[in-house]
Structures are given as structure tokens and as C-alpha cells.
Amino acid sequence: MELTLDQALQRGIEAHKAGQVQDADRYYTAILKASPKHPDANHNMGVLAVSVGKVEAALPFFKSALEANGTIAQFWISYINALVNLGRLAEAKDVLYQAKENGVKDDGFEKFEKQLQESPSKNSNTQELPEEQLRSLLNLYTKGMYTEALYTGSQLLQQFPNSIGLCTIIGAANQSLGKLEEAIVAYKHSLSIKPDCAEAHNNMGVIFRVQGKLDKAIDAYKRAISIKPNCAETYNNMGDTLQEQGNLEEAIELYKRAISLKPDYADAYYNMGIAFKIQGKLDKAIKAFNKVISLKRDHAEAFNQMANALKDQGKLEEAIKAYNKVISIKPRSADAYYNLGNTLKDQEKLEEAIKAYEKVISLNPHHGSAKHMLSALTGNTNDTVPREYIENLFDGYSTIFEASLIENLEYEIPKLIKDILIKLNGQKSLGSVLDLGCGTGLLGPEIRDHCSHLEGIDLSSKMLRLAEQKNVYDKLSHSDILEYLLSMPLNFDYYIAADVFIYVGELTEIFRLIRSKNKIPGKLVFSTEHTEKDSYRILKTGRYAHSKSYIERLCTEFGYTISHFSTTNLRKEKDHFLTGGIYILEFAN
């Protein structure tokens, strides 16, 4: 009868205890053939190898055991002990540090820690790299010769495995080459030698942020600060991470702390300006960007961001001067020409705007947003707005989106849609609702009490973050509408798109997918920027207007029935209201 893995393991252990090495090896090998990542079999094979003097051969087995299950203290102890026996003390310290970092606890760790601390330090294996060699290696790194620095450093590490300076340069070189995991290994090695190495903690924080592990990044920065509380760079880095999390006030306080330690810290002023701009505190943002420029006259991004803030304030001439300053510093900056084109368009200097967009495309033929705006101004209707245009527009607009729409533009479409639905539906629940292009979630609070399930999708991750804070959606997805409709199972009573189709244009695929894939009868509810002209067309604003006749053709093609249509004030634009259309379409499954 064939043995199960558990039975084979038990027999292997019994043979092992009885000193029957060959039998034990046979059982463990059979287990690993069937299940190569089996943690106990890997560990026991390592122990078996050590018992017959094959310590080096044991290491891959111990490593595989830990990769399969890193919570077992004995796995760590066996691995560390093998490294110590081989005299590879620096690696043993690394593994001990990793075990403790992973939250594994065992009294045996204290023995190793004491042993490793007391290990001899008289030979070259525990010495710091001589200063002259360290300076030479650092020179390679500062010149941007990262591959050369990494190669030379790796060779020297064999002779000087406990050199903090050497580990730091190797980590930084790996980091600059995008080899983030290798960089972390180097920094952890530094910390195994010197746990209070603030620079290693700070550098690991930078990597964790790049990897999107924001909480781990903040923990690393806090450790660095607790060791070295007067390092301006760490406060700045932690501020950037908090800003990415949306904790703007805390981020600003950290930037101020960095500046108090280093008054000429241009990067901290710049990052603080970005945080103020996101908050809509444009005067403070401009002041911060001006400070950057006073410290670095050729800081193109500070000019660019200041121009953006001036544009948001409606100071278009000042914004244009700032964009032109960016172009004088970086003549091939496609983004600066694009921003300049947008500002000229807002001034209704359309011929100049067209030239700016054409310049963008000459510098970057794949700049979808510039192509879109060029189509808008020249009247060449394309099918839809490029994804990058939507993401950039609404990510940048997210923090002032609601205040701008509701307070300045008198936008009330979500409430109007809710009122129409309640009037037509009575007291009955709307059932399950998918909010297409939910943005910051303006529709959610309006209909939450009138539906049993509410989901939202949007292309802007920053908009979704604000929608999530409303705590009204059962689920939010970062997705393009067509991608979502194509890939996800559809089972909704209502699909609602408030002020979304103005950025889509051609609606054929959306209508087809909802009608063909939804498992139950449902309704499609949406607003349009209304036009009496036939079909749909792109406007000089870059948005689309749709006619009722175009919607009627789609309904005929895909089997929808229009149960409601009305025109209304959509929102203000340059002191007059745009005309919008409100539609409710019904379809059978």
C-alpha cells in the first residue's frame, strides 16, 4: 500500500532517530519528489546532511523549509547553526535578524546573539573596509557607475563582510539599478552588524515606499528617527509617504521639521508645496514653490507646479509666464507644452493652443492627452477620451473636485437622478446598483438608503480613495468601464453613470455589454451633455455631447426602452448653465 506524505514523514523520522540514515534519506527524498516545498521534509533533510558532515549541502534544504513555513523557530535555529559551523557569521547574523523581524521567538536565539556578538574580530573578515577603498567605491557610485560599484563592492564583501560602509554602498547601487530586493538584503545585513544604523532603516523605508508597502516604510522611518532624530532627509521621506497615504497635515508637519533642521532644503519646500496644492491652499503652495526657486533657480518642476497653482487660481497670464520658464529650462518638456496648451485654450487663444499641442506631439508622438485636445480643437471627433487623460485629469482634480462642482459649478445631477428614480420607483428598493465612474462618490450618499447593494468603479485611484472615506459603497474597483464590463460577471438592477459619458464618446460597447451580459432585467441611468445635432461630437472642452437621436439608435440596436428622458441644467461653465440630458433605459435579460 502506498504511504501518505504524513506516513512517509513519520517513518523517516523514526529511521532518523534510530540512526538509519539511508532509510531516512529515502523517505525524505520520496516526500520531496512528491512535494518539493514540504517544510518538515526539507528541514529534516538538512539536519540529516549536517549529521553526516555535509553542512554546506544542508543550507538549501533549511532555506526551502523557511520559505515554506517561516514561523517554526527550529527551522531558523538549524539554519543559523549551520552557518555558524561554516564560519559564515555575517550571514548567520542576517538570518537571526530576519527571524526576529518576522516575529519568531525562541530562547535559542539569545544564545546565538551572544555567540555572534562575542565572535572574534581580529581578522580581516570583521574589519571595516579601509577608508581609501571605501572612498574609491563611493566615487564610482556618485558618478552614476552603479554596475561597476556593485561589482567591485561584491568582490570586496567577500573579504570585508562586516563593513557597514560597504554594505550601504552595495545597497544603494542595487537600489539605483532597481534591484530592490537585493538592496534590502544589503541593508538588512548592515542592520545585523549594527542594529542602530539609521541610514539603513531610512533607505529601507524608501524602498518600501516604492514597493507600495507604505506602513512598513513609515515604521522604517520611525526607527531611523528614533536612532538619529536630527536627520532632515528622513523627515522629508516620511512626509512623502504620509502624503501618498493622504495624511496631508501630518506630512506638512514633517516637511516643516525637515526645514527647521535644514533651512535650505529645497526638496522639503517642494514637497510641502505639493501637499498644500492638493489641499487647495494655493497661496501657500505658490509661496513654497517660490522658496524652492529662490534656492534653485533652474528647478523646472517648481516652476511647473507653481504655474499649475496659478492656473487653478485663474491667473492665466502668470501661469503662462511660469510655463514658458519651464520650457526655457527644459526645452523638450512635453508636459510643459501640454500645460501651456491647456492654459491658452482656457484663454480661448485656440490657434496658439493648437501650436502648443502640436509641439507636444512632435516631442512625444504617443502623448494621448495632447492628441485628444488637438482633436477637440480641430473638430476631428475620436471615439473616446484616452485613459491617461482621464486618470491625470481626475487624480489632479480629486481634492478640489467636490467643492468645485457643488459650490462653484452648482452641480446637482446625483441628487436629481436620485429624485427621479425614487419618484418612478416609489418606496421599492432599487436593488443592486453599479455606479459607473463613481469619482469621489457623490452619488453614493444619495442612493445608499434606497438600494440593497452598491458598488463603484473609477479610473482615478485618488478619487476612489475619497469615495472610500464616505463608507457607503459595498465595493470599489479601480478599473476602466469597458474593462470591468468585459471581465466581471454582471448582475445589477441598475447601472448609473452620472456625468461619465461626457468622457466616453462612443457608447456602443457599453450598451452592448450591459445588455448581453447582465443576468437579470435592469436599467441603465445616465446623464449626457446634450446636443440637438445628430450623433455625438467632441467639444472644444475635450468632452463629448450626445444627441437623443444617437441614444435612440443604440436603444433600437441593443433592445433598450427609454422610460424617461428630460433635459436639465447640468452645471455652470463660464457663468452659464450647460444643458444636460437625463436618461433611464430599461432592458430585459
Which pLDDT score is estimated for 122?
38
Please choose, from the candidates 588, 470, 475, the residue with its C-alpha nearest in 3D space to the C-alpha of residue 524.
588
Contacts 24+ apart (CB under 8 A), 382-385: 382/505, 382/538, 383/505, 383/506, 384/503, 384/504, 384/505, 384/506, 385/503, 385/504, 385/505, 385/542, 385/544
β-pairing, 544-546 with 536-538?
antiparallel
pTM of the predicted protein model: 0.67
**Integer Cα distance of 324 and 318 in angstroms:** 10
**Integer Cα distance of 36 and 61 in angstroms:** 10
3-state SS, residue 313: coil
Concatenating the DSSP letter of every residue in 45-106 gives: HHHHHHHTT-HHHHHHHHHHHHHH-TT-HHHHHHHHHHHHHTT-HHHHHHHHHHHHHTT---
**Integer Cα distance of 332 and 321 in angstroms:** 17
Give bridge partners of residue 565 from the DSSP assignment. Answer: 583
- 204-236 burial, b at 16+ Cβ within 10 Å, e below that, comes to bbbbbbeeebbebbbebbebbbebbeebbbbbb
Q: Which amino acid is located at 357 in the chain?
A: Y
Which pLDDT score is estimated for 385?
67
β-pairing, 561-573 with 576-587?
antiparallel
Contact 298, 291 (CB under 8 A): no
β-pairing, 432-436 with 494-497?
parallel
Contact 373, 345 (CB under 8 A): yes
**Integer Cα distance of 456 and 478 in angstroms:** 9
pLDDT tens for the 589 residues of the chain, in order = 577 888 888 988 888 777 777 888 888 898 899 899 999 999 989 888 877 667 788 899 999 988 888 888 888 888 888 887 776 777 888 888 888 888 888 777 777 666 666 554 433 344 677 888 888 888 989 999 988 888 888 888 877 888 888 888 999 999 999 889 888 888 888 888 888 889 999 999 999 999 989 999 999 999 999 999 999 999 999 999 999 888 899 999 999 999 999 999 999 999 999 999 988 899 999 999 999 999 999 999 999 999 999 998 889 999 999 999 999 999 999 999 999 999 999 898 999 999 999 999 999 998 888 888 888 888 776 666 667 766 666 565 555 555 555 555 567 888 898 999 988 887 789 999 999 989 888 898 999 999 999 999 998 888 888 889 889 999 999 998 999 999 999 999 999 999 899 888 899 999 999 999 999 999 999 999 999 888 888 888 888 899 999 999 999 999 999 999 999 887 767 777 888 899 999 999 7
Please choose, from the candidates 519, 457, 453, 454, the residue with its C-alpha nearest in 3D space to the C-alpha of residue 482.
457
